[in-house]
Amino acid sequence: MRRRLLALSLSLAFAAAHADEGMWMPSQLPDIARQLKAAGFKGQPRDLAELAKPPMNAVVKVGGASGAFVSGDGLVLTNHHVAFGVIQYNSGKSADGSDRDLIRDGYIAADRAAELPANPDYRVLVTTGFDRITDRILADAKGKQGRGYFDAVDAATKAAVAECEREPGYRCSVANMYYGTDFYLVRQLELRDVRLVYAPPNDIGNYGGEVDNFVWPRHAGDFTLLRAYIGKDGKPADYAPDNVPYVPPAHLQVSTRNVKEGDFAMLAGYPGVTFRHRMASEFANQVQWQLPARVALYQRMIDTIESTTGKNEAARVSYASQVRSLKNSLKRAQGELDGLRRSDAVTVRKADEAAMVAWLDQQPDAATARTDIAAAQAVLDQGMTTRERDQLLGVIASQTQLLRSAITLQRLAYERGKPDAQRESGYQQRDAVLITGQLKQVQRRYAPAVEKALLTELLTQYQALPARQHVAEFDAVFGTTPAQLKTRLDALYAGTRLGDESVRLATMQADAATLAASGDTLLKAAATLQPAILRLDEENKTSAGELLRLRPAYMRALIGFRQSQGRAVYPDANSTLRVSYGRISAMDPRDGVHYRPLTTVQGIVEKHTGAEPFNAPQPLRDAITKGDFGSTAEPSLGNASAGAQTVDFLTNLDTTGGNSGSPVLDAQGRLIGLNFDSNWEAVSASWMFDPRYKRAIHVDMRYMRWLLAKVYPAPHLLKEMNLPAE
């Protein structure tokens, strides 16, 4: 009895620790109705279950991220940074010939006629179907292995998408849930006429800029209002002046209530990718090798570039963007590593997996499952035997300019030998513009000495690897000793004309035969490397197919084990609609420091320097000084009589990249916030959710209401959203 009580209390503690973790498929919410209600949700969980019904169908995919309808006339709320391209597209010369800078000034469309069309490729996607088609996708794959399994799933996916897209105006995709366990056909109405309605000045929308990125406390008004239009026939259409506003099946109501610490909050959106349900060995590899190796490798690459460019100003400029990007990646990798170590992720995941296996061994089908899991582990183990090489070759192919161009040009010629539809994605006709751009960009990003120094660094590391990691073609091209490497690189870069843009662009048109006959040293090297590259691609697809076949055994065991703990399992994020719930939460980032969960306009004044990114516009500062906050003030903050005007707030909601623009709802489903960032301490949440540090950052809808009411007024939009004028 004591043991059972102990077990119960442990499992309750465990459940409590994980209460706010989860990117749930809406269809799962009825299954977790009890915990959702216990957390404070006042509605019916089953009302949230269907993607194609209210309120979930008010949540849209927009500009590659998330957003929501906020009026019956197709008004869409998303982040300023998600709509940035639209704002930029409408800056410059305006219709009447005058210059305008909507990034700097913001924009308020006085009426529908003044709403400005977005760039033609900008989309709002409304989900209208979400159907489980696992059997159909796996029908042909059954009994197959490796590459065969991969190809069967790929073919069935393409067929399902093609069939679904037969109806014009829709875009379809197949979502893989639980790593190959389930497949869903997602059907989305594709709205192609999107217009800019209201954007705050960049100094509000992006207040704090890069300095505040990933930072709490935050003070950005990162929101923009767009409107979706359709043709007069009620069907999606390209922009046309006489299109009409799209009437969405549902829209969210912006809240007029107070919002304070501890309140229930819920968020819906399209998180991109997480790795939470990866195997314990993958966690260990990530923390013990992948991230430290990436940090070390990027650091050496940065050092190599910086010491080679040295005092050469032109070279420094050419490589500035690459160095900045490497530093950014390094910083993120270090942040992820620090976070996973802080959370002791490897130990926690390993103990959890061991407990799962112990549970599995008690189940009737344990033997089969253990066989599949062991086989998946073997595939992963096999991959790890060449991880150093794979990392280096990946970087060599992606972080060089001239060598990468040569490899691309050879591959292009090779793929051009196939019908367009069968070409590898990235080398089809529709990719030509992208490749041309890349080949042109080389001119501004290349210096021979730097590329040679970088390759010397990377290939010296490659040469030092044990024989089993070597690839014959690479050895043939670059030699196997530092001395050979130096000779070969000197020869390769002395004998190539690819440094000349016209030569690169002309070569893009050449067929395989012409290329084969080319005397250009780098093109010849790329020709030698190509069979290796194709072979490694093939091996990757084979592994991917095997993992697609084998991981479901692991996932089913995990789901069963969690069920035995009284917990449901959400699938790792894959850019499909998910729901997360939790509350408005303070945070203790480190000893002695406490972050309050709501910021106020006072912080805008404190941060203001008059220079970007802290250049609060005069009208905003005047309005703050005036202190006329009316119904948008939070009475529990600031001075007793007027309260304080909030700006942003912090929740413990479970988010990741792609959740930008996700609506944040209160217990009654009213819109209280707009997600736009997460905190630095949460970078590691893509692998592990640590409730101590995982937070999401939102624009308080009261700040948006105040801006629309008092600072950059748009009374007609407040009226359209059924909101008070002040």
Residues annotated catalytic, as ranges? 81, 222, 660
| Amino acid identity for residue 498 in this structure | L
- Nearer of residues 239 and 595 to its own copies, judged by Cβ: 595
| 590 near its own copies, rule: CB under 8 A | yes
Q: Which stretch binds its own copies (CB under 8 A): 261-269, 377-385, 529-537, 592-600?
A: 592-600
- Nearer of residues 378 and 449 to its own copies, judged by Cβ: 449
Three-class secondary structure of residue 725 per DSSP: coil
Shortest reach from residue 316's CB to its own copies, in Å: 12
**Cβ-defined contacts of 33-38 (< 8 Å, 24+):** 36/581
- Nearer of residues 153 and 623 to its own copies, judged by Cβ: 623
The binding track of 294-333 with respect to its own copies, each residue x by CB under 8 A or -, is: -----------------x----------------------
Closest CA to 120 of 40, 297, 257, 238: 238
Q: Which of 24, 150, 216, 270 binds its own copies (CB under 8 A)?
A: 216
C-alpha to C-alpha distance for 120 and 229, rounded to whole angstroms: 13
Dihedral of CA 27/33/37/42: which sign? positive
Q: Which of 603, 619, 657, 713 binds its own copies (CB under 8 A)?
A: 603
- Nearer of residues 333 and 558 to its own copies, judged by Cβ: 333
| 521 near its own copies, rule: CB under 8 A | no
Cα 590–Cα 592–Cα 595 angle in degrees, nearest 5: 65
The binding track of 351-390 with respect to its own copies, each residue x by CB under 8 A or -, is: ----------------------------------------
- Nearer of residues 218 and 349 to its own copies, judged by Cβ: 218
Q: Which of 606, 625, 719, 722 binds its own copies (CB under 8 A)?
A: 606
Q: Which of 314, 421, 517, 593 binds its own copies (CB under 8 A)?
A: 593
Q: Which stretch binds its own copies (CB under 8 A): 10-18, 125-133, 553-561, 599-607?
A: 599-607
Q: Which stretch binds its own copies (CB under 8 A): 503-511, 587-595, 658-666, 667-675?
A: 587-595
Shortest reach from residue 609's CB to its own copies, in Å: 10
Q: Which of 592, 610, 618, 641 binds its own copies (CB under 8 A)?
A: 592
DSSP conformational letter for 45? G
| 641 near its own copies, rule: CB under 8 A | no
Bridge partners (DSSP) listed for residue 93: 99
Q: Which stretch binds its own copies (CB under 8 A): 85-93, 511-519, 554-562, 596-604?
A: 596-604
DSSP strand pairing (264-269 vs 578-583): antiparallel
DSSP conformational letter for 254? B
Shortest reach from residue 206's CB to its own copies, in Å: 18
- Nearer of residues 2 and 594 to its own copies, judged by Cβ: 594
How many residues of this chain interact with its own copies, rule: CB under 8 A?
Answer: 19
Closest CA to 184 of 174, 194, 192, 193: 174
| 594 near its own copies, rule: CB under 8 A | yes
Q: Which stretch binds its own copies (CB under 8 A): 171-179, 220-228, 424-432, 586-594?
A: 586-594
Dihedral of CA 579/583/584/590: which sign? negative
Shortest reach from residue 218's CB to its own copies, in Å: 8
- Nearer of residues 149 and 693 to its own copies, judged by Cβ: 693
Query: Do the beta carbons of residue 555 and residue 278 sit within 8 Å?
Result: no
Q: Which helix (H) or strand (E) holds 100?
A: strand 99-100
Closest CA to 289 of 385, 395, 399, 394: 385
Shortest reach from residue 586's CB to its own copies, in Å: 9
Q: How many CA atoms lie within 13 A of 382 on its CB side?
A: 13
Bridge partners (DSSP) listed for residue 175: 184
Q: Which of 595, 621, 628, 726 binds its own copies (CB under 8 A)?
A: 595
Shortest reach from residue 192's CB to its own copies, in Å: 40
| 219 near its own copies, rule: CB under 8 A | yes
- Nearer of residues 362 and 641 to its own copies, judged by Cβ: 641
Q: Which of 598, 633, 671, 709 binds its own copies (CB under 8 A)?
A: 598
* Angle between helical axes of 387-398 and 291-309 (0-180°, round to 10): 40
Q: Specify the residue for token string 């912090």.
A: 650
- Nearer of residues 52 and 215 to its own copies, judged by Cβ: 215
Name the CA dihedral angle for 70, 71, 74, 79, rounded to a multiple of 10 degrees: -20
Q: Which of 206, 405, 599, 684 binds its own copies (CB under 8 A)?
A: 599
Dihedral of CA 80/86/88/90: which sign? negative
Tokens of residue 130, six digits: 């979400």
Q: Which of 37, 541, 596, 716 binds its own copies (CB under 8 A)?
A: 596
Q: What is the largest distance, in Å, between two alpha-carbon atoms of the chain? A: 83
Q: Specify the residue for token string 């407040």.
A: 718
Shortest reach from residue 594's CB to its own copies, in Å: 4
Please give the radius of gyration of the chain, using alpha carbons only, rounded to the nearest integer: 27
C-alpha to C-alpha distance for 615 and 114, rounded to whole angstroms: 28
- Nearer of residues 513 and 593 to its own copies, judged by Cβ: 593
Shortest reach from residue 492's CB to its own copies, in Å: 31
Shortest reach from residue 681's CB to its own copies, in Å: 11
Name the CA dihedral angle for 677, 683, 689, 690, rounded to a multiple of 10 degrees: -100
| 621 near its own copies, rule: CB under 8 A | no
| 55 near its own copies, rule: CB under 8 A | no
DSSP strand pairing (193-199 vs 598-600): unpaired
- Nearer of residues 219 and 578 to its own copies, judged by Cβ: 219
Q: Which stretch binds its own copies (CB under 8 A): 153-161, 181-189, 211-219, 615-623?
A: 211-219
- Nearer of residues 582 and 597 to its own copies, judged by Cβ: 597
Q: Which are the contacts of 123, defined by CB distance < 8 A and separation ≥ 6?
A: 61, 62, 63, 190, 191, 192, 194
End-to-end CA distance of the chain: give it in Å, rounded: 61
C-alpha to C-alpha distance for 106 and 192, rounded to whole angstroms: 23
| Amino acid identity for residue 68 in this structure | A
Q: Specify the residue for token string 């906020």.
A: 70
Cα 301–Cα 302–Cα 306 angle in degrees, nearest 5: 120
Q: Catalog residues that contact its own copies under the rule CB under 8 A.
A: 216-219, 311, 590-596, 598-600, 602-603, 606-607
